[in-house]
């Protein structure tokens, strides 16, 4: 037992250690034995890998000695390529993403002036989502549990993060949020006069090591970008992870896009959500009653209208929350901002307090979307409506909607 | 029914380096008795660590199986520099990180259905403690679970998490502080030092 542990710590540890766990299946040991034997019976693959490791450096050295392709660091930079891409009016980008589990996603993004469209097709050509801005309205189509939702909003810019057009420079310094951990400094090599798909191009390539904060390596990403030297526009970008199935190929097309490319195609059985009206409803509920929003992991965020009471609760370091007379939960109030575009995000500016509560599993049926729930916060009771939220690309960004 | 289908978790016994290497050698040749011993010793802790790290019970069960399978398959990489327990947790932690990245990727493309909860066996104490642990920031939670619940040393936990030993120590300290603050009012009889 740790010398720093109090009796309360010991009680916490004993409760956690004393919890039951699912039994080991009878077949587990034999399945594991089979997996180990299968790994042992793969020496041929490892031998081949060893041979490739020997041949690889030799081939690279040979290419270097014979001077093909030639290496030049002066002619063209990634910044030039980025600039050329952002100056383009019409562009279509197709991204083929193989996830670490082997699933294949195809993301297509088109841009023509201020109009844009983004769509994702998952394994088995199944539509995952699509988003479009036709110049006056934004349409976001989501396919959730065999139901189709369409969120209609005002004009917006193409969203950032993964859904933006991957510019070569930004892609060459891939955001660590996707792969986790830190990224070591990257050295990009530029080669001119490279023959590729029947044309002469500039090739940028580089390896990138991602690692945990302590330096434990996660994976090495190898990236190759082919650029047209005349227009300085990117043609294709290839990313592969050396020790994972994760890979991505991005293809660029610069043919002019017709206006009909940006006409919303709303499926007949879709449920259309008017986002401005939703926001009005959320603000009204916040002002009058407060509300509970549930995310897909059944985490409840409790927004309360009565600031002084919550401020007092915040000073108490933590608050006791009871939902629908269920068991008590303990949590800390956190300040958030509900911005004009409907997103909830953490904020230092004190605008709205939120209590994130994991409702007890035994109490889950008592929280039904669309109904009123009773919330007790440090003894103060509130009757608040229950809503659902749909997570977007960031952990803390959640768009509210009525179910 | 669920109560009958559950066993009580235990902490993996601390083995000597020789015993760990012996077990590793037997695992490498797929010795069934050694595999059973390995599962018996490390599955409860790995499952507990994953289930308390924000995974649903079903996910934790799958991930624990995956982590132990990975560990057993790659047991030849275990060199005996530290205890086998720490090495197994390092593998489990990596599986957890991969799972979180995948969950994040899935969240990009749409939401997923609500998990079905079947934790009828959970006692009131367990629910309260689990909620308090779940409310900790992930870094602090991992440090607390590895150090306090699983009994790893500071250096071993640092190796698992991939953070400096001092950082892990301070994270565990703040985790204990927060848990005491949260749970003291609920269980005053346990708050005395």
User: Could you report the per-residue pLDDT of A40-73, keeping only the tens digit for each?
Assistant: 555 444 433 433 333 344 333 433 333 343 334 3
| The pair of three-digit structure tokens given for residue B16, joined into one six-digit string | 């000597």
pLDDT at A397 over 50: no
Instruction: Assign A279 a pLDDT band (cuts: 50, 70, 90).
Output: low
B121/A17 touch (CB, cutoff 8 Å), yes or no: no
Of A83 and A395, more confident: A83
Mean pLDDT of A322-335: 73
| pLDDT for the residue B113 | 38
Taking the Cβ of residue A159 and every Cβ of chain B, the question of whether any pair is shorter than 8 Å is answered with no
Of A55 and A375, more confident: A375
Of the candidates B50, B67, B68, B71, the one whose C-alpha atom is nearest the C-alpha of residue B59 is: B50
| pLDDT for the residue A68 | 40
DSSP string, A262-298: G-----TTPEEEEHHHHHHHHHHHHHHT-EEEE-TT-
Interval A130-158: pLDDT, tens: 888 888 888 888 776 677 778 788 887 76
Q: How far apart are CA A120 and CA B105, in angstroms?
A: 12
Of the candidates B56, B27, B54, B55, the one whose C-alpha atom is nearest the C-alpha of residue B41 is: B27
| pLDDT for the residue A235 | 92
What ipTM was reported for this prediction?
Answer: 0.79
Taking the Cβ of residue B19 and every Cβ of chain A, the question of whether any pair is shorter than 8 Å is answered with no
Q: How far apart are CA A153 and CA B36, in angstroms?
A: 57
Mean pLDDT of A224-253: 86
Burial call A189-227: b when 16+ CB within 10 Å, e when fewer: ebbbebeeeeeebbbbbbebbbbbebebebbbbebbbbb
B109/A144 touch (CB, cutoff 8 Å), yes or no: no
Instruction: Assign A396 a pLDDT band (cuts: 50, 70, 90).
Output: very low
| pLDDT for the residue A173 | 56
| pLDDT for the residue B121 | 63
Q: How far apart are CA A229 and CA A193, in angstroms?
A: 9
Of the candidates A130, A207, A124, the one whose C-alpha atom is nearest the C-alpha of residue A173 is: A207
| The pair of three-digit structure tokens given for residue A162, joined into one six-digit string | 């993964």
> Which residues of chain A lie closer than 8 angstroms to B27, CB-CB?
36
| The pair of three-digit structure tokens given for residue B65, joined into one six-digit string | 């199986």
Element (H, E) at A150: strand A147-153
| pLDDT for the residue B164 | 82
- The structure's pTM equals 0.43
Of the candidates B98, B142, B103, B53, the one whose C-alpha atom is nearest the C-alpha of residue A179 is: B98
Count H helices and E strands in chain A, helices first.
8, 25
Q: Which one of A143, A213, A330 has the shortest CB-CB distance to B182?
A: A330
Of A20 and A83, more confident: A83
| The pair of three-digit structure tokens given for residue A246, joined into one six-digit string | 């994760």
| pLDDT for the residue A314 | 57
Taking the Cβ of residue A149 and every Cβ of chain B, the question of whether any pair is shorter than 8 Å is answered with no
pLDDT in tens, chain B (193 residues): 233 334 444 555 555 567 777 888 888 888 888 888 888 888 888 988 988 887 877 788 888 888 888 888 888 777 777 788 888 998 898 888 877 776 665 555 443 333 334 456 667 778 788 888 888 888 888 999 998 888 888 888 888 888 888 888 888 888 888 888 777 766 655 444 4
A32/B148 touch (CB, cutoff 8 Å), yes or no: no
| The pair of three-digit structure tokens given for residue A63, joined into one six-digit string | 């290419």
Taking the Cβ of residue B105 and every Cβ of chain A, the question of whether any pair is shorter than 8 Å is answered with yes
> Which residues of chain A lie closer than 8 angstroms to B75, CB-CB?
36
Q: How far apart are CA A79 and CA A87, in angstroms?
A: 12
B190/A145 touch (CB, cutoff 8 Å), yes or no: no
Q: Classify the C-alpha dihedral A24-A30-A34-A37 as positive or negative.
A: positive
| pLDDT for the residue A231 | 92
Interval A329-352: pLDDT, tens: 777 766 666 554 444 555 444 456
> Which residues of chain B lie closer than 8 angstroms to A31, CB-CB?
69
* A282-285 own/partner pairs: CB under 8 Å, 24+ apart: A282/A338, A282/A342, A282/A387, A282/A400, A283/A338, A285/A384, A285/A385, A285/A387
Residue with the two structure tokens 């990727």: B105
CB pairs under 8 A between A and B: 216
Yes or no: say if A92 and A109 are a contact pair by the CB < 8 Å rule: yes
pLDDT at A38 over 80: no
Interval A175-222: pLDDT, tens: 443 444 445 545 678 899 999 999 999 998 877 766 655 556 666 778
Q: How far apart are CA A333 and CA A338, in angstroms?
A: 15
A36/B32 touch (CB, cutoff 8 Å), yes or no: no
Task: Pick left, alpha or beta for residue A394 (phi over 0 → left; psi -120 to 50 → alpha; otherwise beta).
Answer: beta
CA dihedral A55, A60, A61, A62 (to 10 degrees): 90
């Amino acid at each position: 037992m740790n010398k720093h542990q109090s009796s309360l710590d010991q009680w916490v540890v004993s409760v956690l250690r004393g919890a039951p766990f699912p039994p080991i299946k009878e077949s587990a040991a034999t399945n594991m034995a089979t997996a180990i034997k299968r790994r042992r019976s793969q020496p041929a693959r490892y031998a081949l890998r060893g041979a490739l490791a020997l041949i690889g450096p030799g081939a690279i050295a040979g290419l270097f000695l014979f001077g093909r392709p030639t290496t030049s660091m002066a002619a063209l930079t990634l910044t030039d390529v980025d600039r050329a891409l952002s100056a383009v009016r019409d562009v279509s980008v197709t991204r083929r993403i193989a996830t670490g589990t082997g699933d294949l996603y195809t993301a297509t993004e088109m841009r023509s002036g201020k109009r844009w469209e983004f769509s994702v097709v998952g394994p088995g050509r199944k539509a995952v989502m699509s988003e479009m801005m036709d110049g006056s309205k934004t349409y976001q189509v989501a396919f959730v549990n065999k139901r189709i939702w369409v969120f209609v909003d005002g004009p917006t810019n193409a969203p950032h993060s993964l859904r933006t057009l991957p510019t070569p420079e930004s892609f060459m310094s891939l955001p660590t949020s996707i792969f986790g951990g830190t990224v070591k400094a990257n050295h990009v090599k530029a080669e001119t006069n490279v023959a590729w798909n029947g044309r002469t191009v500039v090739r940028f390539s580089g390896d990138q090591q991602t690692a945990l904060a302590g330096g434990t390596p996660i994976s090495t990403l190898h990236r190759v970008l082919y650029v047209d030297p005349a227009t300085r526009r990117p043609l294709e970008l290839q990313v592969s992870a050396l020790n994972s199935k994760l890979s991505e190929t991005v293809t660029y097309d610069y043919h002019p896009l017709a206006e009909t490319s940006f006409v919303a195609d709303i499926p007949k059985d879709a449920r259309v959500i008017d986002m401005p009206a939703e926001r009005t409803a959320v603000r009204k509920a916040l002002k009058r009653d407060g509300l509970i929003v549930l995310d897909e992991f059944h985490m409840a965020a409790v927004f309360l209208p009565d600031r002084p009471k919550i401020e007092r609760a915040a000073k108490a370091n933590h608050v006791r929350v009871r939902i629908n007379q269920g068991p008590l939960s303990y949590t800390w109030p956190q300040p958030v901002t509900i911005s004009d575009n409907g997103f909830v995000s953490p904020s230092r500016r004190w605008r709205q307090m939120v209590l994130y509560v994991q409702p007890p599993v035994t109490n889950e049926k008592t929280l039904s979307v669309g109904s009123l729930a009773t919330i007790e916060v440090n003894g103060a009771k509130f009757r608040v409506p229950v809503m659902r939220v749909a997570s977007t690309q960031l952990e803390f960004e959640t768009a509210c909607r009525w179910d | 029914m669920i109560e009958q289908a559950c066993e009580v978790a235990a902490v993996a016994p601390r083995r000597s380096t020789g015993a760990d290497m012996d077990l590793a050698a037997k695992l490498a040749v797929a010795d069934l008795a050694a595999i059973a011993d390995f599962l018996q010793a490390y599955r409860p802790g790995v499952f507990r660590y994953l289930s308390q790290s924000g995974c649903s019970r079903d996910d934790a069960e799958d991930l624990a199986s995956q982590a132990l399978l990975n560990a057993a398959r790659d047991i030849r990489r275990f060199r005996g520099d530290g205890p086998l327990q720490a090495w197994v947790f390092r593998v489990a932690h990596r599986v957890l990180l991969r799972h979180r990245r995948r969950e994040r990727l899935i969240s990009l493309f749409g939401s997923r259905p609500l998990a079905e909860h079947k934790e009828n066996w959970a006692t009131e104490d367990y629910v309260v403690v689990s909620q308090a642990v779940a409310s900790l920031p992930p870094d602090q939670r991992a440090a607390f679970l590895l150090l306090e619940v699983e009994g790893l040393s500071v250096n071993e936990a640092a190796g698992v998490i991939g953070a400096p030993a001092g950082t892990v120590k301070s994270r565990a300290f703040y985790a204990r502080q927060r848990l005491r603050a949260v749970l003291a009012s609920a269980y005053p009889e346990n708050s005395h030092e």
